[in-house]
Amino acid sequence: MAAKTEKKERPIRVKKTSIGKRLIKYWPLYLMLVPCIIYYILICYVPMGGIVLAFKDYSFKKGIWGSPWVGFRYFKTFFSSYDCWRLIRNTLSIGFIKCILEFPFAIILALMLNEIRSMKFKRISQTITYLPHFLSTVIIITMIQRVLAPNTGVLNQVIGKLGGDSSTFFLMEAKYFFRLLFSMDLWRNIGWDSIIYLAAISGVDVSLYEAASIDGCSKLKKMWHITLPGIRGTIGLLFIMGVGGLLSSGFEQVWLLRTPGNMSLADTLDTFVVRIGLMGGQFGYATAIGLIQGVVGLVLVVVCNKISKKVTEVGLW
């Protein structure tokens, strides 16, 4: 018998091109990338040099590099201060509301919008939910102040018509602060945040829904067994990125909602940094607290990313 000769398959070799040749060939694409690179260098990387203020006794006369080093004095001062744990507790509470409690609502809205079959009604619903995102924080807070004003506010007038006390000053009572913040932030961001989930849902294989319909699955089961697993990667990535801001409560909303009545809950790390840094002139102390926030956020992102990759095989890197 003649021996059968087997042809060995040769691996396909990809010809590597030099960086210079790629730059010449795709120069329009690289040219469009230049403004983005310049933006990140100037806005994100150059200001990082100011981190040294956290370790210096800054003086306007001597400048950043001429000011004397103080080591970790500002960090020790902050963690030994009376306000430290109160500020951290308030910041974590607001961060938990924004990053954890609000997180599922955008997913739920995206699932509901995806089930709407009338395109006209769907567009109207999306526009209504997106619009609040384009309102400035100042306008939204002003609206809340008018609605919740004692005696003259819409809510108090309704309470008065129903026989209740119409003189309640909601913004001056600490027990309403977290509820107002949660309602305002959710109303403003839920529609905008749902855009990414709607885009991810549109990429789910339609044949899976057709097969599920043949098997007699209800819409709820399709959502649970097809849609949610199909966008699991997007949910995981956005959650990891959101956790990084757990120690950053956001400045504008909290600062504008602050009143003497709710100061015990509305005083956070962000407002404290502005108060002692820009208003008090303690730039080194404020930089040290900002550095703590950044380092904690980085650690949270790294830890959550590692846990997510082990549990769901989804991660940022």
User: Where is 204: in which H helix or E strand?
Assistant: none
- Residue 255 forms part of a structural domain: yes
C-alpha 48: how far from chain center: 21
Over residues 148-160, the pLDDT tens digits come to 988 888 999 998 8
CA-only gyration radius of the chain, Å? 27
Do 92 and 247 contact (CB within 8 A), yes or no? yes
In a domain, 101, yes or no: yes
Residue of 301, 265, 282 lying closest to 90 (CA atoms): 265
On whether both 147 and 95 belong to a single domain, the answer is yes
Among the three residues 56, 71, 86, which one is the final residue of a domain in this structure?
Answer: 71
Q: At what angle do helices 232-243 and 103-114 cross, to 10 degrees?
A: 150
For residue 156, what are its two tokens? Answer: 């108090």
Residue 18 in any domain: the answer is no
Query: For the chain, which ranges sit under pLDDT 70?
Result: 1-17
Residue 229: per-residue pLDDT:
87
Domain end marker among 14, 44, 71:
71
> Tokens at residue 6, please?
């087997």
Whether residues 56 and 181 fall in one domain: no
Q: In this structure, how many other beta carbons lie within 10 angstroms of the beta carbon of residue 18?
A: 8
Predicted confidence at residue 35, as pLDDT, reads: 92
pLDDT on residue 3? 46
165 plus 275 within the same structural domain: yes
Same domain for 247 and 115, yes or no, is yes
- Structure token pair of residue 262: 């709710």
In this structure, the answer to whether residues 39 and 114 fall within a common structural domain is no
Is 61 part of a structural domain of the chain?
A: yes
- CATH, residue 274: 1.10.3720.10
Q: CA torsion, points 290, 295, 301, 307, in degrees to nearest 10?
A: -140
Domain-located, residue 46: yes
Query: 162 with 51, same domain?
Result: no
Residues 104 and 147 in one domain: yes
How many domains is the chain built from?
2
Q: Is residue 163 part of a domain?
A: yes
> Which structural domain range is residue 130 located in?
72-311
My answer on whether 124 and 183 are in the same domain is yes
Q: Say if CB 204 and CB 212 are below 8 A apart.
A: no
- Is 44 inside any structural domain? yes
Note whether 42 and 92 are same-domain residues.
no
Assess whether 38 and 93 both reside in one domain.
no
Is there a single domain that holds both residue 109 and residue 216?
yes
pLDDT, tens only, 13-50: 555 667 778 888 888 888 999 999 999 999 888 888 88
The residue among 13, 44, 71 that closes a domain is 71
Residues 76 and 42 in one domain: no
pLDDT of residue 277: 87
Q: Is residue 132 domain-resident?
A: yes
How far apart, in whole angstroms, are the C-alpha atoms of residue 11 and residue 40?
Answer: 40
